Copies of this chain bind each other. A is one copy, B any other.
Amino acid sequence: MEKNFDIISFGEMMLRLSPPGKQRFSRSGSFEKQAGGSELNIAAGVAALGLNTAIISRMPVHDVSQFIMNEIRALGVADDYIIYDKNPDTRLGIYYYESGASPRKPSIIYDRKGSAINRIKFDEIPPEAYGSTRLFHTSGITLALGEATRSAAQNMMKRFKEAGAILSFDVNYRANLWSEDEARRTIEKVLPLLDILFISEETTRKMFRKTGELHDIMKSYCSDYGIPVVATTERKVIGASQHSFSSTIYSSKDDRFYNEHAYEKIEVVDRIGSGDAYVAGVLFGMLKYTDLQKALEFGNAMAAVKSTIPGDLIVTSFGEIERIIKAHQGEQQSEMNR
């Protein structure tokens, strides 16, 4: 049976406010205004590549919130499962982002307490959502926000699983939201449900206290929790404006590690959302090709391209990513088509 959506994600959608260019929070006269949020970034990334996606979230009903709604529709993410909070005291989560220039680091100030998603109740989720997608994705941020989102997310994961969806989860540890201990205890409960886990090496060593070779650690998630696929990324920060990016995927079914040479000399315009673009690329590749090598290639290319685009949300197309993968694999291309 045909599903309406390839991917549904669940998480907070926020207003991102950034000083233009290299200006500073404390002196700029204006903010650039964008939509953001890890799970939204992923839904938008997969939509940019041509699949159908939706997001489950909870939003205030006012015109700044409407800006976010317009943005997600512009980017092709369906708003069918948005829950509207008409309470006049509800608020839209905000984060302020200032870009860096070495040795000055990028900087983030979160102002998301009390936002609409924090009052979500599991029974608000439209039941028809569960059967409507091939894959469901959420992240550790959603679990960290508070009891309401945590409980909803855990219940939703079960329901989507029952309805036959693939479950994807990105640990995405945020130290300003919860402690490593609380995170680990919470996340361990959902690991056994997962079909694919995204986790950074740093988190695996610090939060999960894993030691030894990275490859062995990746395998251990499969053996300990029965997760079929584990993906981890490596970003090297040469400077605030230059990164390199690579990743590794392990499949327990094939007992095989997938990787390719890193994207070097990425010209970083906006660092935020590149990890989410990676997840989007991998999920797209898995759904489209059921080939983890392809998935990894799309993930890496998406992460690299996102880094070059202002805002949280990747703006690209299947054709562009394909050309970038080919160029990365050595195909001769002119510097500019004309």
Q: Which residues of A contact B (CB under 8 A)?
A: 17, 20-33, 62-64, 66-67, 69-71, 73-76, 88-89, 91-92, 94, 96, 98, 100-111, 113-114, 174-176, 202, 235, 237-241, 263, 265-269, 271, 301, 304-305, 307-310, 315, 317, 320, 323-324, 327-328, 333-338
Contact = CB atoms under 8 A, between A and B. Distances in A.
Interface centre among A89, A235, A308 (most CB of B within 10 A): A308
Contact of A105 (B94, B269, B336): B336
Contacts of A334: 202
Contacts of A309: 22, 24, 101, 104
Contacts of A25: 62-64, 66-67
Contacts of A103: 263, 266, 301, 304-305, 308, 324, 327-328
Nearest to A22: B269
20 contacts: A20-B30, A22-B308, A25-B62, A26-B63, A28-B67, A30-B32, A31-B33, A64-B96, A70-B74, A73-B73, A91-B111, A91-B113, A101-B269, A101-B308, A103-B324, A104-B308, A104-B309, A105-B333, A108-B337, A240-B267
Given A104-B324, A113-B114, A238-B265, A315 B27 contact: yes
A105 to B, nearest CB: 6
B27 A102 contact: no
Copies in the complex: 6
A306 B55 CA distance: 31
A274 to B, nearest CB: 11
Contacts of A271: 335-336
Contacts of A109: 62-64
Given A100-B336, A239-B267, 16 more contacts: A17-B17, A21-B310, A25-B62, A26-B64, A26-B69, A63-B96, A63-B98, A63-B107, A88-B176, A101-B267, A101-B269, A102-B266, A103-B308, A104-B320, A106-B335, A107-B337
Contact of A315 (B26, B75, B315): B26
Nearest to A265: B239
A328 to B, nearest CB: 7
A263 B108 CA distance: 24
Contacts of A324: 103-104
Nearest to A104: B308
A102 B71 CA distance: 26
A99 to B, nearest CB: 10
Contacts of A88: 176
A70 B27 contact: yes
A24 B315 CA distance: 7
